[in-house]
Amino acid sequence: MTKVLELRSVVKAYDNKPILKKISFEVNSGEIFGLLGPNGAGKTTIIRVANHITAPDKGKVILKGRNKARFLSKKIGYLPEERGLYKKMKVTEQVLYLAQLKGLTKEAALKKAKIWFDKLEISTWRDRYIEELSKGMQQKVQFVTTVLHEPELLILDEPFSGFDPVNAELIKKHILELKEAGTSIILSTHNMGSVEELCDRIALVNAGEIILTGPVKELRKQYSEGMYSVVFKGHTAVFSNTLWTGGEIVSIIERDEFTEAIVKMSGRISIKDIIRAIIEKVEVVSFNEILPTMNDIFIKLIKK
Amino acid sequence: MNWSIIKLIIEREFFTRVRKKSFVVMTLLAPFLIAALMIFSVWLSVRDNQTQKIIVVDDNYPSFSILKNQPGIQFEVMDITLIQAQTLLHESDFTAVLYLPKNIVASNVGKLFVKSMPSALTQRKIEKQVEGIIEHQKLLINKIDPAVYAKIDTEFNLSPYKIGKPGDEKKVNSDQAYIGFVFGIFIYVFIIMYCSQVMRGVIEEKVNRIVEVIVSSVKPFELMLGKILGIALVGLTQFVLWGLLTLVVFMAAKGLFFQDYYNPETIQQLQMSGDIAKQFQDESLTSVNIYDPNNIINRINFPVMLSLFLFYFIGGYLFYSALFAAVGSIIDNEADTQQFMVPLTLPLLLAYIISASVIKNPDGAMAVWFSIIPFTSPVVMMVRAAVGVGGGGGIPIWQVGLSMLALVIGFIVTTYIAAKIYRTGILMYGKKASFKEVIKWIGYKN
């Protein structure tokens, strides 16, 4: 995997107030990198630095192996959180204008625009003025302007906000397609569901520092609290006795056919031994580890 | 700097503005308004809409019975009191009461009571007649032969000439500065008008948040420059269209409404009457003759003035527009514009005020300095240049050259400073920046 973007010890301050304190991370080709953090953590500044809109006070921003590669910013597609288009321009004009600013010829841009208009079902709106469009429709146009020039790095800030579930799904589908095609994507969002669903790796930013980074699956494992869901047929008391010092039942739901117990394992007895012991006494339907959601991890770490 | 990108930005700025309804309406309507205004003022000066029927109350009756009717003025000398005359005026179709009191020969003051104001020309005609009669009476009192008086009555005129080398002299026509003032006002209005468009454009992009997308592919300076040049093109397009349309409309209207005044016979008559008037030292009675080579309009060197106008409009616009763009970048909504706009419009306003006094003394130290300082030069220099550029009578060429150079350097400096404020300002949201902070932005690295 090749590094598409790398931030090395980036420091940025405004009015002597530190906004970013030695931020370092990298985004590899073909991965979705989640940039998480509470409001005011410095995400927007990180994005601006990555985008070469603002220069860091210290540290390096390396795009495709090159430092100070402002001219390479044409390889970036940026969807800011606060969306905006020229209201007095027609959809096609707007898309062509922004694509030409990114270095595409008018003809090439037009060809690509047609394809994307079809993909996002906005072809019939292409001669309308932006101000005549609904918010969701404008968002779609903005998405097209972001991806039209086939950027190698996409920076998406809250890409799903403002979309209804159907359209959010549509956008998600296209984001995944772009990833499959090898595009690297930085996804900044508060929607933890989409982080778990889409992101390969994340960085959690708080107060200008990265306090957690790594692959989503590993992080969830790392923050696992030993919670398991056990579904079985048999007496609850027998199950409870069998567990003994191996774990503590957090909650239990008895249904007609089977019982579901949420158990917090103590770690004193290995999971293998516990399973073996339970199987002898009750009929086990399923035994699953409950991993913490990114939401849980986020709240836990930020509250610290 | 990437000029192909700047060209794209210029195109967008230009075409989105030019096709706006407000641009089309303004461009089409303004010439009609200007032409209408011009025609209206000409019309006002040449004709009264109603014949003045004037009751003359003569306390020295019948001294003034010799008042003669003129086209548009009818006198009716009556031996009644002022009160009676005023009552009569009220109840009849008379339009005015001319009151000539007992001591008029000593005081030289009469009164005119009117229902509605007659034109200045009509008033002047009445004054002239009364003046003639009073003069005649004074001649009689002093036992002076009117024929002799006509020979000795003198009006002395002083014509200032400016001399370069001995023999190289040129008449100084400071009255032409009035025409320059009109040019100056246009520059003042246009600079504010188009610079405000630049500012509004910047605010729009900032409020829309599109600026963030744009500056991710374009340098802020390129965006600012593209916007400024695009709007300059809009302005020039509007000028050219206005110029052409105004000319067409004015010509058409002139043909329609003032045929009499422009057919050769009338011109001849007017010129003759002008000659006669001159004999009697009575120029003010004739209306302005646009065919007279000494006429103020004909003394203006229009090619030079229009070239200077173009230069100072573009130069002044560029000088101020970058600053207006910087102001636009500081604020996030138009309501906050006032606070930052005042320091910008103040020098322009100052230029306008100074110009009024420059008219009287286009060669004074104040006039020279303010026509060189770029903050005021676009307006002030127009006033001075109307007197003429170079030669014995005009303002020195080096002053015009220095003023132009200062404006070019000035615009490079303002653009440089403004660009630094702009690139930081466009990304700042939320809190309103103070002057102190803005000054700090100039020093920011990026």
Closest partner residue to A85 (CB to CB) among B208, B219, B437 is B208
| Partner-chain contact A98 B208, CB within 8 Å | no
Could you give the angle at the alpha carbon of B133 between the alpha carbons of B132 and B139, nearest 5°? 90
A-to-B residue pairs, Cβ atoms closer than 8 angstroms: 65
pLDDT band at A155 (very low <50, low <70, confident <90, very high): very high
Q: Contact at 8 Å (CB) between B150 and B132?
A: no
* pLDDT value of residue B264: 52
pLDDT of residue B281: 40
Same fold across A3-221 and A225-291: no
pLDDT (0 to 100) of residue A54 = 84
What is the C-alpha separation between A128 and A139, in angstroms, rounded? 14
Report the percentage of chain B scoring pLDDT > 70: 83
Sheet holding A247-254, edge to edge: A247-254, A259-265, A227-233, A283-290
Which of B32-46, B297-311, B318-332, B357-371 shows the lowest per-residue confidence on average (mean pLDDT)? B32-46
Say how far apart CA B24 and CA B62 lie, in whole Å: 64
| Most confident among B176-185, B267-276, B366-375 (mean pLDDT) | B366-375
The CATH classification number of A3-221 equals 3.40.50.300
Supply the pLDDT for residue B446.
54
Query: Between B401 and B435, where is the model more confident?
Result: B401
Q: For residue A231, give the H/E element and its range.
A: strand A227-233
Q: Is the peptide bond before B62 cis (omega within 30 degrees of 0)?
A: yes
Rounded to whole angstroms, what are the CA distances from B185 to B110, B307, B323? 39, 16, 21
pLDDT (tens digit, 9 = 90+) per residue, A215-247? Answer: 988 998 888 888 999 999 988 888 888 887 788
Instruction: Give the pLDDT band of residue A83 (cuts 50, 70, 90).
Output: confident
Domain limits, chain A: 3-221, 225-291
Nearest by CB to B210, from A74, A85, A100: name it. Answer: A85
Of A138-142, B37-41, B215-219, the poorest mean pLDDT is in B37-41
CATH topology of domain A225-291: Alpha-Beta Plaits (3.30.70)
Place of tokens 């956008």: A171
Mean pLDDT of chain B: 81
Rounded Cα distance between A24 and A26, Å, is 7
Q: Which residues on chain B are in Cβ contact (under 8 Å) with A55? A: 445-446
Please state whether beta strands A76-79 and A153-157 pair in parallel, antiparallel, or not at all (unpaired). parallel
* B440 and chain A in contact, CB less than 8 A: yes
Between B183 and B446, where is the model more confident?
B183
CA distances from B274 to A244, B46, B110, B269, B287 (A): 126, 14, 28, 8, 9
DSSP A90: B
3-state secondary structure of A89: coil
Say what the pLDDT of residue B276 is. Answer: 43
A285: enclosing H helix or E strand: strand A283-290
Residue A69: pLDDT above 70? no
Confidence grade of residue B274 (pLDDT, cut at 50, 70, 90) = very low
- Specify whether the CB–CB gap between B53 and B76 falls below 8 A: yes
Q: By the CB < 8 Å criterion, does B7 face chain A?
A: no
- Which of B217, B42, B338 lies closest to A78, judged by CA? B217
pLDDT at B277: 43
Q: Which residues of A touch B207 (CB under 8 A)?
A: 84
Query: Angle, to 10 degrees, between the axis of helix B302-330 and the axis of helix B177-208?
Result: 30
Q: How far apart are CA B115 and CA B203, in angstroms?
A: 53
Measured between CA atoms, how close is B446 to chain A, in angstroms? 6
Is the distance from CB of B384 to CB of B358 less than 8 angstroms?
A: yes
Region of residue B209 (phi > 0: left; psi between -120 and 50: alpha; otherwise: beta): left
Reported as a pLDDT band with limits 50, 70 and 90, residue A295 is confident
CA B109-B110-B113 angle, 5° bins:
145
- Taking an 8 Å cut-off on Cβ atoms, the answer to whether A15 and B437 are in contact is yes
**CA distance to A177, A190, B309, per residue, from A195 (Å):** 16, 8, 61
Q: What's the rounded mean pLDDT across residues B207-225?
A: 88
pLDDT band at B280 (very low <50, low <70, confident <90, very high): very low
Distances (CA, A) of B392 to A289, B293, B298, B363: 100, 19, 18, 13
Helix orientation angle between B220-257 and B302-330, rounded to the nearest 10 degrees: 140
> What is the 8-class DSSP label of residue A120?
T
Alpha-carbon torsion (A292, A295, A298, A304), positive or negative: negative
CA distance B413 to B320: 11
At residue B434, does pLDDT exceed 80? no
Superfamily of domain B52-152: Periplasmic binding protein-like II (3.40.190.10)
Q: Mean pLDDT across the stretch A42-71?
A: 82
* pLDDT of A159 strictly over 80: yes
Average pLDDT over residues B273-282: 43
Which H or E run contains A204? strand A201-206
pLDDT at residue B269 greater than cutoff 70: no
Whether the CB-CB separation of B233 and B436 falls below 8 Å is answered with no
Q: Which residue has the tokens 């772009």?
A: A178
Contact: B210, A86; criterion CB under 8 Å: yes
Asked whether B355 and B381 are in contact (CB, 8 A), the reply is no
- Tell me the per-residue pLDDT of B59-97, one tens digit each, with 9 for 90 and over: 887 888 888 888 888 898 888 888 999 898 888 888 899
Q: What is the pLDDT of residue B160?
A: 66
Residue B205 CB neighbour total at 10 angstroms: 22
Chain B nearest-CA distance from A285, in A, is: 54
Of A158, A202, A216, residue with least CA distance to A39: A158
Q: Do A78 and B445 touch (CB under 8 A)?
A: no
- Give the C-alpha separation, B164 to B246, whole Å: 39
Window A:114-153, CB contacts with B under 8 Å: 145-146
Calculate how close chain A gets to B246, using CA atoms only, in Å: 29
Domain assignments of chain B as residue spans, ordered by start: 3-41+171-443, 52-152
What local confidence, expressed as pLDDT, does residue A108 receive?
94
How far apart (Å, rounded) are the C-alpha atoms in residues B28 and A258? 83
- Chain-chain contact of A84 with B216 (C-beta, under 8 angstroms): no
Residue B285 has pLDDT above 90, yes or no: no
State residue B47's pLDDT score: 59
What was the pLDDT predicted at B278?
45
Nearest to B52, CA basis, from B26, B70, B32: B70
Output the furthest CA–CA distance in chain B (Å, rounded).
94
CB B184 within 8 A of CB B384: no
Residue B112 touches partner A, C-beta closer than 8 Å: no
| B146 φ, ψ (degrees, to nearest 5) | -55, -35
